[in-house]
């Protein structure tokens, strides 16, 4: 979401990745942000997803490999099941994950990048 609404919150490393790396989003992200939007926590809609495509982001679905990876992330580490699914999609596809989520960052996984750095 920061890419669309608050790019100033992104750190130098995250901005570098956004500029020079091939980037993807998980379809689970659409579900999570849509759910949060319906509950009034944020504004999110089809225009945001269209913007991701304009920026060249690819789309990744939660498939069989991600489903297998999902079990490796425990709810006591990251309670939100959608966050664990997003993590599983990234790992199943051999990709890094850019996030500001403190619970995910606290795991200190070498493939997870703090969006604020």
Per-residue DSSP letter, 42: S
| Angle, helix 81-92 to helix 27-38, in steps of 10 degrees | 160
Q: How large is the average pLDDT for residues 43-55?
A: 89
pLDDT surpasses 90 at 5: no
Tokens representing residue 80 in the block: 């939100």
pLDDT surpasses 60 at 4: no
Full-model pTM: 0.85
Specify the number of domains making up the chain. 1
- CA-to-CA distance for 94 and 2, rounded, in angstroms? 23
pLDDT surpasses 70 at 2: no
Q: What is the CATH number of the domain that holds 30?
A: 3.40.50.1010
> Residue 7: pLDDT band by 50, 70, 90 thresholds?
low
The CA distances from residue 66 to 7, 58, 113, in Å, are 28, 16, 19
Q: How much is the CA Rg of the chain, to the nearest whole Å?
A: 14
Spatial contact of 93 and 61, defined as CB atoms under 8 Å apart: no
| Domain that residue 103 falls in | 2-114
What mean pLDDT is reported for the chain? 89
The CA distances from residue 9 to 3, 21, 74, in Å, are 9, 19, 29
pLDDT surpasses 70 at 48: yes
pLDDT surpasses 60 at 117: yes
């Amino acid at each position: 979401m920061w890419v669309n609404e608050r790019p100033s919150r992104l750190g130098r490393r995250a901005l570098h990745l956004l500029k020079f790396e091939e980037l993807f989003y998980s379809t689970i992200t659409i579900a999570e942000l849509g759910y949060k939007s319906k509950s009034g926590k944020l504004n999110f809609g089809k225009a945001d997803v269209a913007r991701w495509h304009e920026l060249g982001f690819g789309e990744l679905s939660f498939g069989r490999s991600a489903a297998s990876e999902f079990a490796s992330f425990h709810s006591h580490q990251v309670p939100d099941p959608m966050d664990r699914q997003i993590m599983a999609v990234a790992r199943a596809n051999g990709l890094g994950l850019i996030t500001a989520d403190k619970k995910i960052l606290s795991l200190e996984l070498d493939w997870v990048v703090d969006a604020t750095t």
